[in-house]
Structure 1
Amino acid sequence: MADLARLQGRNFLVIGRAGMDLYADPPGTRIEEATRFTTTLGGSSANIAVALTRQGCRAALLTCVSDDAVGRFCLNQLDAYGINRTHVRAVAGEARNSLAVVETRLENCQSVIYRNNAADFAMTLADVEAVDYPAFSALITTGTVLAAEPSRSAAFRAFHLARAAGLPLIFDVDYRPYSWASAAEAAEVYSRAAALCDVIVGNDVEFGFMAGHPDLGLEKARTLIAEGAQIVVYKMGENGAVTITPQGEFATGIYPTQALKPTGAGDSFLGSFIAALAAGLPVRDAVLRGSAAAAMVVARVGCAPAMPTGTELDAFLAHHSGPTA
């Protein structure tokens, strides 16, 4: 078990994809009717890294991008957001960056994801073994990185090296069925990863998936604590979240907002939650800051550019009603 006080070093290594998001413009436009799009940085891990930097932390991304114009777009965006890309490797050949074509719509929001021969799955043992783990405060990864080889084995090797260096391991389940060969394989790999981690965050569907039955998700979350995890956040959408620690569990609500879209909430929650823990806040307060950040992001266009700064989040919490009971 790692010491979570190490988070207060506020320097995070994030493993996983960076991609390009294309948003149908103006907001409300359906993809099939769009004549123009707005480009932003995307990819769950890159979004989390942006959320962390916006909250005053440092973040380095460990991944691969395609050696083409889309990959270079991602590199330029990482630079613009102040994310350390020392450990981002360009992959030549037929590998392609993740690309998402998305709508800014709340009802029937379409998101078309292109992940064929994804460049981020090319991450190798050599990539993760080149990292100076003691320089970081924690390792953060999303479940997407585990969906294919060689990325999966490389990620588990990174877990081992980070643990040897005393880093807390933080896991955002982030289950994307289209990335996996089978649901059974995904459930087994996710459970294996979660069992190694100190902080696990996911939604009710994801925990139910790992448990093998939708009704057993909360019990799965509790089991992870019993087996050694330090914090598990079981999110339930508009019904808030249940947070479980060895000391007990508590429920929190959400911050009502005028949402434009459903995307980006999870990445914003995780980044702001971890930034709050790194600032020394109690777990409950950190969960509420994550929930508030999620409410802010779904009310804005895009994901990475929608991540709030610390000042914006403070203002939202000071003037916004909530959370719900």
Structure 2
Amino acid sequence: MIPFLEKIKGNNFVVLGRAGMDLYPDPPGTKTEDATQFVAALGGSSANIAAALVKHGSQASLVTSVSDDAVGRFALNQLDKYGIDRRYVRQVSGEFRNSLALAETCLEDHQSVIYRNGAADFQMTVDCVEKVDYATFTALITTGTVFAAEPSRSAALHAINLAKQAGLPVIFDVDYRPYSWPSREVASKVYSKVAALSDIIIGNDEEFDFMAGGKGLGLEKAKNLATETKRVVVYKMGEKGAITFTDNNEIHTGIYPVKALKPTGAGDAFMGGFIAALANGLQIKECILRGSASAAIVVTKAGCAPAMPTPQELDEFLQKHPGPQKPD
């Protein structure tokens, strides 16, 4: 038994990272350049993960900054709608703006346009993370996007140290977005530092390749991270499934094939389903499969946060689906 998994069963998570606005051309299938109307929803990987967790019955508190304007207030209202605790969300004035994503609900020639210049969430400071009472939580979750710029990078690293001092496991979703970083070299160095501080690391094959410094090196990187200490490392390979390294074991799992409507939201849904299952004390393999099933559900629906399944929807999906593909 890995000791920190017991702590996660408290099912109360503090999540670092952005909350933004997603705009979807409506109806589904419409190209952005042809759209005459859009549907707005909560966006941002960390907010999506928090929404997924709350839908699964967990508690989640978000730590971030939003712009002191209409879009920032939209994000706050959406956090309230999903039942995400926002006591640690700070509004910032000036020229800082909330992240904004225009994402199409289609597979063919899919376009996602992200606006991140002068992002408000990068204004999360050391003071922000020091306001958090880490002793009241059972794990800290962070996505890689919080480390792309200062002062957010230093604040997030400080939050991880405070969380570890309070005995909290650290869960790291690599979530590498090149457009946010000054260089690949800086990103690789920072991510490797964060991974060394984390207890659970989730990323895809390209992200682990990137951390390892070259194509084809990521699998060995993931394996080494797991053997350095008692970590859980999930190495996702898209349609080929995932390999999870834990306690000197390798767990190979496949995906749940579905007729997808869009490609976005799968990673955040996986995180929500996987972590909520860990909190419920399920075996690692079952947790991975519930995360994979959650991802499969989300890509069949419009939106990201609105598409996150409830436990009932997830159970119904698993009962009706013939089962995951044999892992490659």
Say yes or no: TM over 0.5: yes
Give the percent of matched residue pairs that are identical in Structure 1 and Structure 2.
65
The Cα of 1:2 is off from its aligned counterpart by 6.2
Compared CA separation, residues 227 and 66, structure 1 to 2 (3 A):
same
Task: Give the unaligned 5+ runs of structure 2.
Answer: none
Contact preservation (8 Å) 1:207, 1:217: yes
Corresponding position: 1:315 with 2:320: no
Amino acid at match of 1:159: I
Q: What residue in structure 2 maps to residue 17 of structure 1?
A: 18
**Distance in 2 (alpha carbons) for counterparts of 1:166 and 1:282:** 22
Q: What residue in structure 1 maps to residue 290 of structure 2?
A: 289
The Cα of 1:214 is off from its aligned counterpart by 1.5
Task: Give the unaligned 5+ runs of structure 1.
Answer: none
**Distance in 2 (alpha carbons) for counterparts of 1:114 and 1:144:** 14
Give the secondary-structure state (helix, strand or coil) at the position aligned to 1:112: strand
**Distance in 1 (alpha carbons) for counterparts of 2:242 and 2:4:** 24
Q: What residue in structure 1 maps to residue 243 of structure 2?
A: 242
Write out the 4+ residue segments of structure 1 that deviate beyond 4 Å after TM superposition: none
**Distance in 2 (alpha carbons) for counterparts of 1:10 and 1:255:** 26
Tell me how large the CA RMSD over aligned residues is. 0.9
Q: What residue in structure 1 maps to residue 180 of structure 2?
A: 179
Q: What residue in structure 1 maps to residue 168 of structure 2?
A: 167
Give the secondary-structure state (helix, strand or coil) at the position aligned to 1:317: helix
Q: What residue in structure 2 maps to residue 208 of structure 1?
A: 209
Tell me the number of residue pairs that the alignment of Structure 1 and Structure 2 aligns: 325
Give the secondary-structure state (helix, strand or coil) at the position aligned to 2:255: coil
Contact preservation (8 Å) 1:199, 1:229: no
Q: What residue in structure 2 maps to residue 74 of structure 1?
A: 75
Q: What residue in structure 2 maps to residue 196 of structure 1?
A: 197
The Cα of 1:247 is off from its aligned counterpart by 3.1
**Distance in 1 (alpha carbons) for counterparts of 2:322 and 2:33:** 37
**Distance in 2 (alpha carbons) for counterparts of 1:263 and 1:31:** 15
**Distance in 1 (alpha carbons) for counterparts of 2:183 and 2:50:** 28
Amino acid at match of 2:69: D
The Cα of 1:296 is off from its aligned counterpart by 0.1
What TM-score comes out, normalization by structure 2 length?
0.98
Q: What residue in structure 1 maps to residue 131 of structure 2?
A: 130
**Distance in 1 (alpha carbons) for counterparts of 2:199 and 2:208:** 16
Amino acid at match of 2:62: L
Contact preservation (8 Å) 1:2, 1:163: no
The Cα of 1:226 is off from its aligned counterpart by 1.9
Amino acid at match of 2:224: T
Q: What residue in structure 2 maps to residue 121 of structure 1?
A: 122
Q: What residue in structure 2 maps to residue 59 of structure 1?
A: 60
Amino acid at match of 1:207: F
Compared CA separation, residues 53 and 159, structure 1 to 2 (3 A):
same
Contact preservation (8 Å) 1:256, 1:321: no
What TM-score comes out, normalization by structure 1 length?
0.99
Q: What residue in structure 2 maps to residue 103 of structure 1?
A: 104
Amino acid at match of 2:15: V
Amino acid at match of 2:195: A
The Cα of 1:4 is off from its aligned counterpart by 1.9
The Cα of 1:229 is off from its aligned counterpart by 4.7
**Distance in 2 (alpha carbons) for counterparts of 1:229 and 1:19:** 34
**Distance in 1 (alpha carbons) for counterparts of 2:273 and 2:63:** 20
The Cα of 1:159 is off from its aligned counterpart by 0.5
Contact preservation (8 Å) 1:197, 1:229: no
Alignment of 1:81-92 (within 5 A): 81-92=82-93
The Cα of 1:249 is off from its aligned counterpart by 0.5
**Distance in 1 (alpha carbons) for counterparts of 2:320 and 2:262:** 22
Note the alpha carbon deviations across 1:115-136, whole angstroms, 9 max, x for none: 0000000000000001000100
Contact preservation (8 Å) 1:9, 1:137: yes
The Cα of 1:3 is off from its aligned counterpart by 2.0
Q: What residue in structure 1 maps to residue 142 of structure 2?
A: 141
Amino acid at match of 2:317: F
Amino acid at match of 2:240: N
Contact preservation (8 Å) 1:52, 1:58: yes
**Distance in 2 (alpha carbons) for counterparts of 1:321 and 1:24:** 32
